[in-house]
Chain A
Amino acid sequence: MATMSMIQALNSALDVKLTDDPDVLTFGEDIGYFGGVFRVTEGLQKKHGEKRCFDTPISEGGIIAAAIGMGAYGLRPVAEIQFADYILPAFDQLVSEAARLRYRSGGEFWAPITVRAPYGGGIFGGQTHSQSPEALFAHVTGLCTVIPSNPYDAKGLLIAAIESNDPVIFLEPKRIYNGPFDGHHDRQVKTWASHPKSEVPEGHYVVPLGKAATVREGRTVTVLAYGTMVHVAAAAIEEAGIDAELIDLRSIVPLDVETIVQSVTKTGRCVIVHEASRFAGFGGELSALVQERCFFHLKSPILRVTGWDTPYPHAFEWDYFPGPARVAKALKQAMED
């Protein structure tokens, strides 16, 4: 065991797979010699050679197209998109090609690719370095979408993603790369060092895709969250003094609907939290699933705490971000209804 930040854990996952499997290689903008703008690939080119970890042209469509071709050949490419906000030029490749190749070819070709992208807000990155586009991918049949919330999960999920024979969009909440963030932006920044989930095995292990984690057990209300919002929700639960059950979804496709249903059946209340804007966001799907499967157990309306339906703003970051005060307010409302 070692104490790792999320960046170190992700680096370790790539290192393990590059060591394990000669068919794994990784590429993206600035990830080779320099080690990536967030340092996730630092040292990997030096250790594994320039053919295993290399720089690409600034061409997200080209990066993903090349990855799909490599995957069809038989490799397990891991592509980095520098920010999830920049993934859209590759959207056609992901939606029309990676997600559909196995199906349309009758199983003759498939795309075992992993697409990593720093994602989410909280770093004053403005509109083009802060967005949470997970709902765009969750809607596409054939893609898996994974969002870790801590170093241990990040490493185990990334290894699972690389070993998966389906295409995986791996979204890394960049605000928690270096430490957990509970939404109190005015307080001192924490590191991962004192967090139990920063204890990370140095070798190979897997956190399976599609298994949610119950972060906190509780009896009165279920909170569904992923990524940075797991930490925000945990803080809000403590501050509201409510005996809530907090579920970290970890992957939204595949989704661990069983754990969600078990929890809401027990608590009878559900609050869904995500950074992305609300309308047609992934919270809408979660809300529908809970309503369909737990209706007769519900004691109050399902609530969503999300980013507003505006583009991600700059000066108004903390007005936009669904922080602990807004989550706590929703928890209280759920209990009152």
Chain B
Amino acid sequence: MFRVCPPFDLYIPAPSARPGDAPDFSHLAIPPAGACPRPDVTAAASSVRDLAYGLVRVLDEDGRAVGPWAPKIAPETLRQGLRAMMQTRLFEDRMFRSHRQGKTSFFMKSTGEEAIGAAQSMVLGPRDMCFPTYRVLSWLMARGYPLIDLVNQIFSNERDPLHGRQLPILYSARKYGFYSISGNLGSRFGHAVGWAMASAYKKDDSLALAYIGEGSTAEGDFHEALTFASVYHAPVILAVTNNQWAISSYAGIAGADETTFAAKAAGYGLPGLRVDGNDFLAVWAATEWAVARAKANLGATLIEFFTYRVAGHSTSDDPTRYRPADEPVKWPLGDPVQRLKAHLITIGEWDEARHTQCEAELTEAVRSAAKEGEAVGTLGQSKPPVSEMFEGVFEKPDWRVREQRDELGV
């Protein structure tokens, strides 16, 4: 035997820039707004494969809504969306500072990704169920979830709606169509498919929407869920929020250099859309398309929301240790809040003065909720009755729970 080719060499993907480098997004192909065609919602999945490699964009550089995907949204609805996004950002900034002040153990921000949850929350109905990740707070903001309940959950205080049992921000809000979040990544993606199958089984019209990060698409849960969604034509929207970073691992570690996340749909016979996630109108339009498709009994749609995680993963990491410090501001798809604001101003439905006033009102609402939560107590100062630790393990406590509760004297 003799060798006829060079020896193999293990390939390890690497991002275009690390700390100290200039941010480099030159590898991203970003088509102009309005360039992507919009197929009929009844189109065969096999006929729309190009969409998985394109990018649905509606808002152009001048803040105009252009092209076939431009949705018809009343200005007041757009303002509601903007408020939800602004509220999300202001609230998260405040709670992030509260963490730095020792008022809670943990926090995560969704800065730069607010358009996704806000638009989807507004397109979906009150009977639909969203299966969120921990970066979809704008869903709740768009539905008017009380800020004080968020604060109390984050502070794990006496009024924590989850009774002190769950890590901050892993909310659950059934009445707001918001399923219980878990810290295990991807593990609820298949629950959304099960929910959708149940809805179809009962001849109901409740849709499910599942979120997963691009990093977690590498989990088996993602592929299992796509298989079930495809096999049973489940009325579910499967959303991959590709925010480029999974803690310190760039999207290439999840396979982004080889294909798009939207393109994974093709292997399951599902339509896959790739959408500018920082474009409120594009998110809205793509979601409407997927909803219409599901309601026509055509099953699931996979949507990759192309976005950027502006903040660190959580309060536990410093992003300047693994990516250029100025990478977030160089992100070529801009800031979703600024883009929607610009659009509203362009169409004559908003102005700087109203924006400033709105920001002041929202800031005051956050401040007031934070103060109210602090008055109840922050982490360690206040907590639910310790007996809550033993509740909800089973529907009815068994002897172990009863005995141990007695042993602890609660």
Q: How large is the interface on B (under 10, 10 to 19, 20 to 34, 35 or more residues)?
A: 35 or more
List residues of chain B with CB within 8 A of the CB of A77. 194
Inter-subunit contact B170/A62 (CB<8 Å): no
Give the contacting residue for B195; candidates A69, A89, A97, A258; CB below 8 A. A69
Inter-subunit contact A106/B198 (CB<8 Å): no
Inter-subunit contact A104/B162 (CB<8 Å): yes
Q: Please count the residue pairs between chain A and chain B whose beta carbons lie under 8 angstroms apart in the complex.
A: 142
> Which chain B residues (179-203) contact chain A, with CB distance < 8 Å?
179-180, 182, 184, 187-199, 201-202
Is A215 interfacial (CB 8 A cutoff)?
no
User: Do A67 and B172 form a contact, CB below 8 Å, given A62-B225, A101-B180, A106-B165?
Assistant: no
Tell me the minimal C-beta distance from B210 to chain A in angstroms.
9
Is B395 interfacial (CB 8 A cutoff)?
yes
Bound CA–CA A77/B224 (angstroms): 18
> Contact flags (1/0) for A45-68 with B, using CB distance below 8 Å?
000000100001101011001111
User: Do A61 and B220 form a contact, CB below 8 Å, given A51-B201, A66-B228, A104-B166?
Assistant: yes
Is B5 interfacial (CB 8 A cutoff)?
no
> Contact flags (1/0) for A151-166 with B, using CB distance below 8 Å?
0000000000000111
Bound CA–CA A89/B219 (angstroms): 12
How many residues of chain A get a CB closer than 8 Å to chain B's CBs?
Answer: 47
User: Do A74 and B166 form a contact, CB below 8 Å, given A166-B394, A210-B398?
Assistant: no
Give the contacting residue for A69; candidates B162, B170, B173, B197; CB below 8 A. B197
Tell me the minimal C-beta distance from B150 to chain A in angstroms.
14
Is A110 interfacial (CB 8 A cutoff)?
yes
Bound CA–CA A70/B182 (angstroms): 18
Give the contacting residue for B227; candidates A59, A100, A104, A108; CB below 8 A. A59
Inter-subunit contact A96/B182 (CB<8 Å): yes
Bound CA–CA A258/B402 (angstroms): 14
Inter-subunit contact B162/A105 (CB<8 Å): yes
Is B93 interfacial (CB 8 A cutoff)?
no
Inter-subunit contact A104/B182 (CB<8 Å): yes
> Contact flags (1/0) for A245-288 with B, using CB distance below 8 Å?
00000000111011000000000000000000000000000000
List residues of chain B with CB within 8 A of the CB of A141. 393
Is B399 interfacial (CB 8 A cutoff)?
yes
List residues of chain B with CB within 8 A of the CB of A73. 129, 194-195, 198-199, 202, 206
List residues of chain B with CB within 8 A of the CB of A96. 182, 184, 187
> Which chain B residues (259-285) contact chain A, with CB distance < 8 Å?
none
Inter-subunit contact B194/A66 (CB<8 Å): yes
Inter-subunit contact B172/A105 (CB<8 Å): yes
Inter-subunit contact B392/A89 (CB<8 Å): no
Is B208 interfacial (CB 8 A cutoff)?
yes
